[in-house]
Amino acid sequence: MDGPGSARPPVSVVVATLNERRNIERLLTELDPAYEVVVSDGGSVDGTVDAVRHVRPGCRLVTQGWSRGTSLVAGLNAARGDAVILLAADGSTCPSEVPRMVMALDGADLARGSRLERRSFADAALATVASARLGMRVTDPWCGATALRRSVVPRLGLPDLTGHATEFELLLAYRAAHEGLALCEVPGIRAASWHQPFPTNSLAENSRAIKALFAERRYASAVAVPAARRPVDGVVPQTYDRY
């Protein structure tokens, strides 16, 4: 709980971890000290939590049983910044991209990143389905870099998303689109220099994500839904000035 006179940080960065000691040390070192950082750990046994406390003592640390969806929901609920950025611990989004993700919220309620590398046919198929379901251009469906206004979080039905894994960010964007919120894409997201790329997502993962998008149904909202807003076509300048 905040003490008297404490100021709410304008930007919160949420990172879900599970045995990410080496990566999280690098990520936390490179993130701007002005950001509130929330690390949501799912039961690491490699010293990840100790590394977080050592590298960034002021970090907000949330721990619970492992599930990627549960970790991200816990992190989103713990974040206090007006702008909340979801980053992967593996450096697939360079920490220096955070200001550009925040800038995207000047004209949108939620922004998704898009990376430059070539994608598989299965990824392209998922991108086509996601674009149709979200009503916006989705170039890179597996880019986890996501920025959203904290004020819209209560409208996204987070408890229903705890069972999801790699498709969590895509379904979060779908929820936002379904609520009539403004979405945009941030192109050209770069990875950190120390990022180790993994093999492309499998056909099974893409199929699961497509199935999850079609399985989504309108959920009860505690707030009245406003008139739909036009999605912002994702043109966000590639500048790296501090927010």
Residues in Cβ contact with 232 at an 8 Å cutoff, skipping those fewer than 6 apart: 107, 108, 182, 183, 184
pTM above 0.75, yes or no: yes
State the pLDDT at residue 220: 38
Q: What is the mean pLDDT of residues 75-95?
A: 97
The Cβ of residue 118 has, within 10 Å, a number of other Cβ atoms equal to 8
Residue 58: both structure tokens together: 């002021």
User: pLDDT of 118-149, one tens digit each?
Assistant: 778 899 999 999 999 999 999 999 999 999 99
State the pLDDT at residue 7: 64
User: pLDDT of 43-81, one tens digit each?
Assistant: 999 999 999 999 999 999 998 767 899 999 999 999 999
User: pLDDT of 14-24, one tens digit each?
Assistant: 999 999 999 99
User: pLDDT of 30-44, one tens digit each?
Assistant: 999 999 999 999 999
pLDDT at 111 over 50: yes
pLDDT band at 217 (very low <50, low <70, confident <90, very high): low
State the pLDDT at residue 174: 96
State the pLDDT at residue 232: 43
CA distance 13 to 237: 21
User: pLDDT of 166-211, one tens digit each?
Assistant: 999 999 999 999 999 999 999 999 999 999 987 767 888 999 999 9
- Could you tell me the fold of the domain covering 11-191+200-215? Spore Coat Polysaccharide Biosynthesis Protein SpsA; Chain A (3.90.550)
DSSP 12-38: EEEEEESS-HHHHHHHHHHS-TTSEEE
CB 61 within 8 A of CB 30: no
111 membership: H or E segment, kind and range: strand 110-115
Domains of the chain: which residue ranges? 11-191+200-215
State the pLDDT at residue 1: 42
